[in-house]
Amino acid sequence: MRLDIYLRDVKYRESFIISTGRRGIDKEFMIKVSENGIEGWGEAPLPHRADEEYLSTLLDKIQRNIEGIRALEPYSLEKLHFLCRDIGDTRISMALQLAFIDLFGKKIGLPAYRIFGAYRDKVETDITISLLPPEEQAERASRFVEMGFRTLKVKLGLDPIMDVERVRRVREAVGEEIRIRVDVNQGWSYSDALYALNKITDYEVELVEQPLDKSDLKNMAKLRREFDVPFALDESVWNTQDVKRAIEMDAMDVANIKLVKCGGYTEAMRIIDLCEAYNINCMIGCMGCDKIGISAATHLALSRRNIQFYDLDCDLLHMDDGVIMGGALVEIPYRHATNSAGFGVSKVQEESLIYLKTFR
């Protein structure tokens, strides 16, 4: 088994702004696993602080564990899970797991969602509206609805008074039939949340995501008792331990799963099963992924019943530079898989990637 490691910069069509900052480029850490002429591809978005030292650390971690990685069969996900847990980096884990799953699917000739459950054949994604002035969010909302999207995820979190105005303007722009979710990205204090939620719930908000600091589960539980709207946690829940804590504190209705947070399919499926046991629904999100990561998240969403909310739009917000071909299909507002094996990625223009290292 051979591993080739690459880096890729992916530009946004428009600056992406949330309460914690702005970005115009996502960096993708990419792994190609090759065996007997068959290639599997994985990727994971990197933090924006990622520099040469950070990348060197990632490569060192792979180097120290390369014999264990190369000894695995592509279907040995449980062994890979514990090996990656020992490595201690969710981005390496995500990229490796996706590459292994893609390789295994191609070896046996099946798309990934058929390997892991094949519960449904399509999902309806939302589309995210950056944290902009109210009139700009309303304009962007109208544009997305004209494109065919029926669920909008509106970013909030800088000022509760303006956040209420943002939701009001978006609702007026799109009418009553469009679903509106709001994502605060930890931007409110508890008192901010009380003020804003008392107002925005008048505008038929479907879901409120991460209104408070990730550590403030006690006040999250209080908000759930106070307001008749589902609350989702994102930054608070990275793994099964986090999810268990949130369930014990009665702090959420929905857990937002992102493959880069939990490290790939194996931990994601543990989270899904845990949530289902406690009647907690799951959302699948993306956190800067491009086509490979989004395709993997789409296949997981197609596989498992308890994933009920779909935020699979990062690659739609990115510019399409033609480097990655294939993957999950988009027929706005739906995403679905093809019958192609693995995650359906047909070709990667490797000459357009930034080469880092090869492990043979």
Average confidence (pLDDT) over 33-55: 94
Evaluate whether 337 touches 111 at the Cβ level (below 8 Å). yes
Average confidence (pLDDT) over 188-207: 97
Q: pTM above 0.85?
A: yes
User: Could you report the per-residue pLDDT of 110-150, keeping only the tens digit for each?
Assistant: 999 999 999 999 999 999 999 999 999 999 999 999 999 99
pLDDT of residue 151: 98
pLDDT of residue 86: 93
Query: Looking at the predicted structure, is the pLDDT value of residue 49 above 90?
Result: no
Query: Looking at the predicted structure, is the pLDDT value of residue 246 above 90?
Result: yes
Query: Looking at the predicted structure, is the pLDDT value of residue 30 above 90?
Result: yes
Instruction: Tell me the three state secondary structure of residue 125.
Output: coil
* Domains present along the chain, CATH in parentheses: 2-109+349-359 (3.30.390.10), 114-346 (3.20.20.120)
Helices and strands of the chain, counted as H and E runs: 13, 17
- Dihedral (CA of 81, 356, 48, 283) sign: negative
Q: What angle do CA 91, 287, 138 make, to 5 degrees?
A: 170
Q: Which residues contact 237 (CB under 8 A, 6 or more apart)?
A: 243, 246, 252, 255, 256, 257, 261, 271
Percent of the chain predicted with pLDDT > 90 = 98
Report H helices in 117-264: 134-147, 160-174, 190-200, 217-226, 240-248, 259-262
Average confidence (pLDDT) over 235-253: 98
What is d(CA 213, CA 105) in angstroms, rounded to the nearest whole number? Answer: 39
Q: How confident is the model at residue 180 (pLDDT cuts 50, 70, 90)?
A: very high
Evaluate whether 345 touches 295 at the Cβ level (below 8 Å). yes
pLDDT of residue 38: 97
pLDDT of residue 48: 84
Q: Are strands 123-124 and 329-331 parallel, antiparallel or unpaired?
A: unpaired
Evaluate whether 2 touches 359 at the Cβ level (below 8 Å). yes
User: Could you report the per-residue pLDDT of 266-315, keeping only the tens digit for each?
Assistant: 999 999 999 999 999 999 999 999 999 999 999 999 999 999 999 999 99
Q: What angle do CA 214, 219, 221 make, to 5 degrees?
A: 100
